[in-house]
Structure 1
Amino acid sequence: MSSRTASATRTDPAANPLALDNQLCFALYSAQLALNKVYRQLLGKLGLTYPQYLVMLVLWEGDGLIVSRIGERLFLDSATLTPLLKRLEAIDLVTRTRAREDERQVIIQLTAQGRALKQKARAIPEALLCASGCNPREVAGLKKQLEALRDNLGADA
């Protein structure tokens, strides 16, 4: 490769399909890093990590779910979810009890403290919207595109 071609490839990412700036995966990854940074600041006030927040969102929608149902909603397996749930139990936000009908199933329920945390968390979505610099319509469009991408990628997996 001539030095002129190499120089053009370095300065013109479109000429190189392997350029970092041409990678969808890197755009998603770097956006996720930035998003996590904002969430870390917001959720620190609640004493939650981002994955714990996701679990709480699922439980605030419907309390008393079995672990596998939470995992389905969050695209997580029980090996990943169980330590998260144990930590939430340790800080008195949820309880874990075995189902009477099938002891292999564990039911996750919010404690009073877990239910009360929902009120404090109500400000999180608005704060994130402000941090994004997007309007609600733009965020809804991005969300819809990302869900379609996830579904398309999942269909091929």
Structure 2
Amino acid sequence: MKKVLATALAIGATSLMVGCTATNAMSQKSQVTPENKTSTPSVLLNVTSDNAQVQLMSMVLTMQSAQQGADTRVLLCGPAGDMALRDAPASATTGQPPKNMSPQGLMKMVMKNTDTKVEVCAIYLPGKGVDQSVLIDGVTVADPAEIGALMVDGKTQVVSF
């Protein structure tokens, strides 16, 4: 019993010393070569609302996030997918106060002025019985596997409107 206890204590002490040595080496390394890498934040904005103000605000926040350095991606599902239609409903194309900007108009501006990728849900077009030709230029159909990977990536903020 004493032999087992002595062996366990020796292993514990050795592990502690190795851990302290590794920690000391890591702290010395960080002093010699500081790592100032900051990862680019990733934001996935999932828009489903049919409300024009909610859609517009989602685009306002997408633009703000992109301008502040985030890697932004917009997923339009359900009624919000209508924002991406060439023949969009008036709710997506009518200007809203205070700047008379429409949800679709600001979405187009976001796409033009940032690297934001805008996509409709994979089931949106089949659900409407149409194909990708009805979408405005630059909007594509989302790959569920890609979106799923983004959602489980710990660096991605998922925001829903």
TM over 0.5: no
Q: TM-score range by the shorter chain?
A: under 0.3
Looking at CA atoms only, which structure, 1 or 2, has the larger radius of gyration?
A: 2
Name which structure has the greater RCO, CA cutoff 8 Å, separation 6+.
2
- Structure 1 or 2: more helix by fraction: 1
User: Normalization by structure 1: what TM-score?
Assistant: 0.25
